[in-house]
């Protein structure tokens, strides 16, 4: 267990960065993400005279979906330098995990580069934050232990859906329009599966498939992995980690009534800690 307010990012960050050069194509980057089973890559500039080329940007599955797939540019020569986020979203290694949750929430990102002075020394992800907060001995998530049906507080009841007969291009555009990372898939008005940004990248873009010619039903995840509304936040986090997923349909009496994501957990953490964070700014 950890002292939540003072837990430094340096203790939890990922130090081995997966990098690509700025000239790497978006398709090659998607393939590397799929191979490494990761959701983010760091971009470095040209080496020049230095053995350690500068880190100039970072990009995620979301960037690939919104800036390449949704625009139907998979057959172009788009390189990562065109879609990466720059300047970098960074946070000092001695800042707290709680501070990281606020910056991620404000910037709408799932990853932050960790700095020590002028040097990038690691990466912290939204999954790292969730893992920390769920098992900390105090803090916003621990406070939910005594809340009746906490999943009902955290989940989103507005469930975005898509027919399994729609194309991957349409799914990418729908995710982009709604700024979400997953869609529940329907067949004859019944929700039968889920498709996520990760599926679009790892099952379509990584293989350079044409998103206009593949149906959502071909890559969706089924049967649905859900969680009962009466379960705990710890149960939800454990299930997400075990199944390597970021979204869980929430059920009540066997019916889907909402959807929970790792981002919802961090949003709640940031919201509850906001008074402290603002006082220290």
How is 152-184 classified by DSSP, letter by letter? HHHSBS---EEETTSBHHHHHHHHHHHT-SEEE
pLDDT at res. 277: 59
The verdict on 158 and 60 lying in the same domain is no
The verdict on 117 and 164 lying in the same domain is no
Return the bridge partners of 186, or none.
163, 191
Domain boundary among 101, 135, 169: 135
User: Domain range holding 203?
Assistant: 146-267
**In this structure, are residues 27 and 92 in contact, taking their beta carbons and an 8 Å threshold?**
no
Q: What share of the chain is helix, strand, coil (3-state, %, to 5)?
A: 40, 25, 35
> Which regions of the chain are under pLDDT 50?
1-3
pLDDT at res. 274: 67
Look at the chain and report how many structural domains it folds into: 2
Of 227, 267, 268, nearest to 109 (Cα)?
A: 267
Rg (CA), the chain: 19
**In this structure, are residues 194 and 261 in contact, taking their beta carbons and an 8 Å threshold?**
no
The verdict on 12 and 116 lying in the same domain is yes
Helical pair 126-135 and 233-243, crossing angle rounded to 10 deg: 140
Domain boundary among 112, 135, 158: 135
Domain boundary among 135, 158, 178: 135
pLDDT at res. 1: 40
Of 98, 72, 42, 61, nearest to 180 (Cα)?
A: 61
pLDDT at res. 2: 45
Cα torsion 226, 228, 232, 233: sign: positive
The verdict on 27 and 124 lying in the same domain is yes
Give me the chain's average pLDDT, please. 90
pLDDT at res. 52: 78
Q: For 95-114, what is each residue's pLDDT tens digit?
A: 999 899 999 988 889 999 99
Q: For 66-76, what is each residue's pLDDT tens digit?
A: 999 999 998 77
Q: Is residue 180 part of a domain?
A: yes
Tokens of 26: 């978006």
Q: Is residue 191 part of a domain?
A: yes
CATH number at residue 159: 3.10.580.10
Assessment of whether the complete model's pTM goes beyond 0.75 = yes
pLDDT at res. 216: 98
Calpha distance 75→25 (Å, rounded): 11
Edge-to-edge strands of the sheet including 227-228?
227-228, 247-252, 255-261
pLDDT at res. 7: 84
Residue 98 contacts by C-beta under 8 Å, 6 or more apart in sequence? 4, 5, 7, 139, 269, 273, 276, 277
The verdict on 119 and 226 lying in the same domain is no
């Amino acid at each position: 267990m950890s002292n939540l307010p003072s837990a430094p990012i340096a203790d939890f960050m990922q130090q081995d960065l997966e990098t690509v050069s700025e000239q790497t194509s978006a398709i090659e980057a998607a393939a590397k993400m799929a191979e490494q089973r990761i959701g983010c890559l760091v971009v470095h500039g040209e080496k020049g005279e230095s053995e350690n080329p500068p880190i100039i940007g970072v990009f995620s599955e979301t960037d690939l979906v919104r800036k390449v797939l949704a625009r139907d540019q998979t057959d172009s020569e788009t390189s990562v330098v065109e879609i990466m986020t720059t300047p970098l979203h960074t946070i000092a290694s001695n800042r707290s995990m709680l501070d990281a949750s606020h910056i991620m929430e404000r910037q709408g990102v799932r990853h932050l580069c960790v700095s020590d002075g002028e040097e990038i020394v690691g990466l912290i992800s939204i999954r790292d934050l969730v893992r920390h907060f769920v098992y900390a001995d105090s803090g916003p998530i621990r406070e939910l232990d005594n809340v009746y049906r906490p999943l009902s507080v955290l989940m989103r009841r507005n469930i975005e859906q898509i027919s399994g007969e729609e194309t991957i291009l349409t799914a990418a555009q729908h995710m982009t329009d709604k700024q979400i990372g997953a869609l529940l898939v329907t067949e004859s008005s019944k929700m039968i599966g889920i498709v996520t940004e990760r599926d679009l990248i790892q099952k379509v873009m990584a293989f350079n498939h044409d998103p206009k010619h593949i149906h959502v039903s071909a890559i969706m995840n089924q049967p649905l992995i859900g969680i009962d509304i009466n379960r705990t936040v710890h149960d939800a986090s454990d299930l997400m980690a075990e199944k390597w997923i970021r979204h869980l349909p929430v059920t009540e009496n066997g019916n889907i009534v909402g959807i929970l994501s790792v981002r919802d957990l961090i949003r709640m953490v940031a919201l509850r800690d906001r008074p402290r964070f603002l006082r220290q700014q």
